[in-house]
Amino acid sequence: MKRALIVRHVPREGAAGYLQPIEAAGYHIDRIDVASPDFGQVDLCDPDLLIMMGGPMGVYEQELHPWIPVQIAKLADRLAADRPTLGVCLGSQMIAAALGARVYPGGHIELGFAPVSVNDAGAASPLRHIDGVPILHWHSDTFDLPDNVELLASTSKYAHQAFRRGSNVLALQFHAEMGEDPRFEDWLTHFWADLDMAQQCGIALREDHGLHGPIAVAAGRAMIGEWLAGIEV
């Protein structure tokens, strides 16, 4: 059986709605937390599929989080081998950094359910499934677009929302996996300072989660399912 490894930067940010298409594509899923003593020994080139999820830390906070340069170095080796890799939010920023691009604070927070603008390349990619669908955003960092990748989607606040490199590398700044996972309540309570910065009401965001979440997750699952079907090995 094919093996997928999910790298979690904090326990409250897992693959959530993406688990279904990953399992449907025939992958046995393993998980590892970056806080695990075993993380430094993990070979990120080994699994057939690598999924890196989000987290509140910045790629540039390497003195606070010494596992970050370790992960980027391991990831760079995997990307050099063109091994299938998916990055979500912080995971997408990790991919950008491993490809040599700058990751930095964006100056403002993007938080809440809103659609991304899928460009022509995105419309011809698996991102066509999320076109026009309100999807959860929750970030304030961004990145320069790496060399030799294809930009797929943007928003008015952040131009670089998604990119791919060939068929095997996909980076998504947004959270199309979130919309049915009960850990959303943990996000609301643990990251309450983000709500204040974004001038967002937790009650309204919870209502949007109930209204838009299932539709967003269905679109996200279709997107990931199509991407997995197109992986070249």
**For residue 190, what pLDDT is reported?**
76
Total domain count, the chain: 1
Would the pLDDT of 194 be above 80?
A: no
The answer to whether 51 touches 84, Cβ cutoff 8 Å, is no
Chain segment 11-69, per-residue pLDDT in tens: 888 899 999 999 999 999 999 999 898 898 999 999 999 999 998 899 999 999 999 99
Work out the pLDDT band at 122, boundaries 50, 70, 90.
very high
3-state SS assignment for residue 61: coil
3-state SS, residue 49: strand
Q: What is the pLDDT of residue 60?
A: 96
User: Which residues, other chains included, contact 130 with Cβ-Cβ below 8 Å and sequence gap of 6+?
Assistant: 115, 116, 118, 153, 176, 216, 219, 220, 223
As a whole number, mean pLDDT of residues 64-92 equals 96
- Which DSSP state fits 175? B
- CATH of residue 156's domain is 3.40.50.880
Strands (E), the chain: 2-8, 27-33, 49-52, 85-88, 103-114, 117-118, 135-143, 150-154, 162-165, 169-172
Q: What is the pLDDT of residue 174?
A: 97
- Prediction pTM value: 0.94
- Closest alpha carbon to 179 in 128, 220, 223, 130: 220
| pLDDT at res. 203 | 77
Question: 12: helix, coil or strand?
Answer: coil
- Which range marks the domain in which residue 119 is found? 2-229
